[in-house]
Amino acid sequence: MEFSSEANQRIARISAHLYPPNLQNSCLRQAKCRAKGGAAGFKVAILGAAGGIGQPLAMLMKINPLVSVLHLYDVVNTPGVTADISHMDTGAVVRGFLGQPQLENALTGMDLVIIPAGVPRKPGMTRDDLFNINAGIVRTLCEGIAKCCPNATVNLISNPVNSTVPIAAEVFKKAGTYDPKKLLGVTMLDVVRANTFVAEVLGLDPRDVDVPVVGGHAGVTILPLLSQVKPPCSFTQEETEYLTNRIQNGGTEVVEAKAGAGSATLSMAYAAVKFADACLRGLRGDAGVVECAFVASQVTELPFFASKVRLGRQGAEEIFQLGPLNEYERIGLEKAKKELAGSIQKGISFSKK
Ligand SMILES: NC(=O)c1ccc[n+]([C@@H]2O[C@H](COP(=O)([O-])OP(=O)(O)OC[C@H]3O[C@@H](n4cnc5c(N)ncnc54)[C@H](O)[C@@H]3O)[C@@H](O)[C@H]2O)c1
Ligand SMILES: O=C(O)C[C@H](O)C(=O)O
């Protein structure tokens, strides 16, 4: 087979990694066609793309018109997932990368890296029980990001988010590439759940409801600000307690319902795409893109905290204060900060070992 340009040679090399010889020609043909017709847009990598979140997330990002190139990386099964998703007749060019030797190629040139790599919970576990396995996975992947796409925005999904975000920050600091505006822990699922549960109670369409959820992403660190719900409304004490408890335990509700088969994947993929799309609109320069995320923060005395952030060309360009809290929320905030402090410190200590 002859390759006339450097781009074709690259496609052929990738194809040779991913496909048996009889499929390499068709892969090359497809990639060439897509590359020629490829729309202007952002380059996005998903790390952990063959997993329960990764697969539907990859499918939804392939539909996103802001994405021109979609890299799917995992330690297993990416050839199959990539072949499958690449048949969708949408604009993004999809390429698969399998295993650690291909991590650098997966990351080079990316604008946005989304990380759902790592093990999920089983019933009876806390998110912190995932620390021992997921901390090392996140550290390795972030070392790759620091080396190959140090300016990329990172959306970190892997649990425990309250610790993995501090780990990522330490990796980037060590590499000299840390930009706090570009490292975002994904807490969007808490907001998605809060909107849904609050809408149920109010008898509204969830698309018309906006609930800020601040703090972190585990148990009592998930703090819905029900006094700031839009449209403005009020709740009885019983409703407040029911909603706060359901939002804080939404993840556990799914883990128990799945009975050993993992945690939230489909609603998480939806939430991850909603958040990634907001990041891409910010990168494009759209005005007024505001979402909740777990970021480096001065909103409290803790070094990281989830709150509303304005997403722009530089990432989280503005971090909003919490606004007025009622007594119930002030008590919740103190509990959240106490637990968060330990989880953040655990992540930082892991990275300094
Ligand atoms: N932030 C959130 O709101 C939120 C919501 C749901 C799940 N999660 C977390 O997301 C993570 C993934 O959940 P899932 O249900 O998709 O799990 P999963 O086991 O179905 O998929 C994880 C994928 O990661 C891959 N992986 C493992 N090690 C890797 C490595 N070193 N490099 C690249 N890929 C690697 C696995 O091969 C697998 O395909 C879990 O930690 C889970 O707790 C977070
Ligand atoms: O609950 C989990 O373990 C997964 C995730 O963090 C969730 O909130 O669904």
- What is the average pLDDT value for the chain, to the nearest integer? 92
The bound ligand whose nearest atom lies closest to the alpha carbon of 58 is 1
User: Phi and psi of 273, rounded to 5°?
Assistant: -70, -40
Question: Is the C-beta atom of 251 inside 6 A of ligand 2?
Answer: yes
Q: Give the Cα-Cα-Cα angle 56, 60, 61 (nearest 5 degrees).
A: 115
Ligand nearest to the CA of 122: 2
For residue 127 and ligand 2, the question of a CB distance below 6 A is answered with yes
Judge if the beta carbon of residue 168 lies within 6 A of ligand 1: no
Q: Is the dihedral of CA 160, 281, 91, 189 positive or negative?
A: positive
Complex-level ipTM beyond the 0.85 threshold:
yes
Minimum CA distance residue for ligand 2 atom 9: 251
Query: Could you tell me the distance, in angstroms and rounded to a whole number, from the CA of residue 273 to the centre of ligand 2?
Result: 16
Q: Give the C-alpha separation, 317 to 103, whole Å.
A: 29
Q: Which of helix, strand or coil describes residue 153?
A: strand
* Whole-angstrom distance, CA of residue 212 vs CA of residue 221: 13
Q: Which of 188, 205, 325, 193 is nearest to 246 (CA)?
A: 193
218 CA: nearest ligand 2 atom:
6
* Residue 14 confidence (pLDDT) above 70: no
Residue 186 in 3-state DSSP? Answer: coil
For the segment 202-225, what is each residue's pLDDT rounded down to a tens digit? 999 999 999 999 999 999 999 999
- Provide the 3-class DSSP secondary structure of residue 47: strand
pLDDT at 40: 79
What global pTM score does this model have? 0.91
Ligand 1 centroid – CA 86 distance (Å): 22
Calculate mean pLDDT across residues 34-53: 81
216, 340 Cβ separation under 8 angstroms: yes
Q: Label residue 9 by pLDDT band (50, 70, 90).
A: low
Q: Which residues pair with 304 in a beta bridge?
A: 296
Two structure tokens written together for 141: 């992947």
Please, which residues have CB within 8 angstroms of residue 308's CB and are 6 or more apart in sequence? 212, 214, 290, 291, 292, 319, 320
Query: Atom 8, ligand 2: which residue's CA is nearest?
Result: 251
Q: What domains appear along the chain, each with residue ranges and CATH number?
A: 35-186 (3.40.50.720), 187-352 (3.90.110.10)
Looking at residue 259, what DSSP letter applies? Answer: T
Distance (angstroms) between ligand 1 centre and the Cα of 331 equals 32
Q: In the prediction, which pLDDT does 326 show? A: 98
Tell me, yes or no, if 71 is annotated catalytic: no
Residue numbers belonging to the annotated binding site for NAD(+): 48-54, 74, 134, 157-159, 268
Q: What is the pLDDT of residues 184-207, one digit of tens each?
A: 999 999 999 999 999 999 999 999
State the closest ligand 2 atom to the C-alpha of 268, by its place in the atom list counted from 1: 9
Segment 55-83 shows an average pLDDT of 98
CA of 254 to the centre of ligand 2 (A): 8
Residue 352: what pLDDT?
84
